[in-house]
Amino acid sequence: MSKTILTIDDSPSVRQLVALTLSTAGYSVIEAGDGAEGYEKATTNRVNAVITDLNMPVMNGLDFIRKYRAHPSSAGIPIIFLTTESDDALKTEARAAGATGWLVKPFKQDQMLAIMRKVVGA
């Protein structure tokens, strides 16, 4: 059975690229356009990992992580930040909120797949 990855990004083109990258490698993908939609999908679907953008309308990535980590269904679910930001203070804040890893845009597809294999397995 394939692993399900939730990708949250306000850019349809980024979501499409992430979904294409992951589905080609055999993962199932659920997409959300902002943190609020992502939270709803993360808590109503069984997901094996979440990839979230930082800067989004409605609810940003950090707020999503904090809210999701407060929900029992998030236990043991890796969350990868996918963002243009590479600030160390922000990385520290993201880890404190419950992020598992960090991937800077534009990402390399093989890099994303290596991270996914590491956090959820093939």
Which residue has 């590479």 as its token pair?
86
Long-range interactions of 17-20: CB distance < 8 A, separation 24+:
18/51, 18/82, 18/112
User: What are the pLDDT digits (tens) for 98-116?
Assistant: 999 999 999 999 999 999 9
User: What are the pLDDT digits (tens) for 11-69?
Assistant: 999 999 999 999 999 999 999 999 999 999 999 999 999 999 999 999 999 999 999 99
Q: Is pTM beyond 0.85 here? A: yes
**pLDDT for res 122:** 64
Q: Enumerate domains of the chain plus CATH numbers.
A: 4-120 (3.40.50.2300)
